Amino acid sequence: MATNYPQLPPEPANAQVSQDPEGTVRALPGAGPPGRGRTAAGFLSGPGKPLVQHLIELISRKRHGAARAAKTRGFVDHARQTADERKQDHPGGNRTWLLRLLISVGGAAEAVTAYVGMEILVASQSLAVGLSALTATIGVGLACLLAARRLDGIGVPAAVRILEGIFVATLTVLRYESLSVQGSGYLAATGAAGLAALISALGLLGIEEIVVKTHTFAIFVAMLRASWGQWRWRRAAAALAATTAAAEAAADKLQRRYVEYLVRTEELPPEEAHRRAAALRAALTGSEAAA
């Protein structure tokens, strides 16, 4: 028993098929013989209506996805360009800025070793803590100042290095005296003071090298923005690819159904049915050439 598909009234010559905002398929004057226009309108208003509505929705999503991918791609290019410009203007090394977090570790080690020297020299423990923190701040600031001079290409004068050595030596003497007052033997006090001096010197030199060999915070932020933008672009590109594939699959399905419709209801030869179906697909998808 043949299936009866809804048919539209006869259209004027040169009719073409379109869809209004509510999703209703209608025929508009334009191109194509009247029989073909009535056939396409009948198919799109009947069995093909859900398919064409789904296809048009996918095409709309594809266009929005392409716009989003292009926008995120532009953001990535701008962020990368900014990061590269800041890298070129930075005379230091290419190590990540995250290594500068170790500066706080070096400052804490400097404060702890300084507290050993301050503990016995002052009557108040809180004063000893404050003096040790101040000493650590001075040491870290001195190391950062020397690193800044190196980054600016000025160089570090020998007098400044001597001053840094005096700073470490003074702290070493204070630590030795503090340990001696607390009752430590000569060898123990000397060894502990020497170890604290080594920790202090290596800490200051390490802080200086970290500042010189790493990126600035501005470069770090620019690279983060570029990485974030790259992640967004990859997501947008993946979503666009998925939507494109879905739209192609929907267009293939619509084309097959229309071929079946033409062969069954219009009794057209398969070659002519395929040609008309390809033309309908090109019209709906905006393709410039039919298959």
pLDDT tens digits for range 211-223 = 999 888 988 999 9
Q: Which residues contact 182 (CB under 8 A, 6 or more apart)?
A: 120
CA atoms within 13 A on the CB side of 213: 12
Q: Inter-axis angle of helices 34-45 and 270-285, to 10 degrees?
A: 70
Q: What is the pLDDT of residue 287?
A: 52
pTM over 0.85: no
Q: Is residue 184 part of a domain?
A: yes
Q: What is the pLDDT of residue 35?
A: 52
Residues facing 18 on adjacent strands: 26
Q: What is the pLDDT of residue 94?
A: 85
Using CA atoms, how far apart are residues 90 and 85, in angstroms rounded to an integer? 9
pLDDT value at 21 more than 70: no
What is the pLDDT confidence band of residue 237, given thresholds at 50, 70 and 90? very high
Q: What is the pLDDT of residue 131?
A: 85
Q: Is residue 149 part of a domain?
A: yes
Q: Is residue 66 part of a domain?
A: no
Q: Is residue 45 part of a domain?
A: no
Q: Is residue 168 part of a domain?
A: yes
Of the candidates 204, 187, 212, the residue with the CA atom closest to the CA atom of residue 113: 204
Q: How far is CA 253 from its chain centroid?
A: 37
What is the number of structural domains in the chain?
Answer: 1
**What is the span of the domain harbouring residue 146?**
95-214
Q: Which residues contact 281 (CB under 8 A, 6 or more apart)?
A: 251, 254, 255, 258, 287, 290, 291
Q: What is the pLDDT of residue 48?
A: 82
pLDDT value at 171 more than 50: yes
What is the pLDDT confidence band of residue 286, given thresholds at 50, 70 and 90? confident
Q: Is residue 69 part of a domain?
A: no
What is the pLDDT confidence band of residue 130, given thresholds at 50, 70 and 90? confident
Q: What is the pLDDT of residue 13?
A: 39
Q: Is residue 23 part of a domain?
A: no
Judged by average pLDDT, the poorest of 21-30, 188-197, 224-233 is: 21-30
pLDDT value at 260 more than 80: yes
Judged by average pLDDT, the poorest of 5-19, 63-77, 88-102, 134-148 is: 5-19
Listed ranges 109-123, 129-143, 229-243; the one with the highest mean pLDDT:
229-243
pLDDT value at 242 more than 90: yes
Q: pLDDT tens-digit profile of 37-48?
A: 577 777 878 888
Could you tell me the sign of the dihedral formed by the alpha carbons of 129, 132, 138, 144, in that order? negative
What percent of the chain has pLDDT above 70?
Answer: 85
Q: Is residue 227 part of a domain?
A: no
Using CA atoms, how far apart are residues 141 and 120, in angstroms rounded to an integer? 25
What is the pLDDT confidence band of residue 36, given thresholds at 50, 70 and 90? low
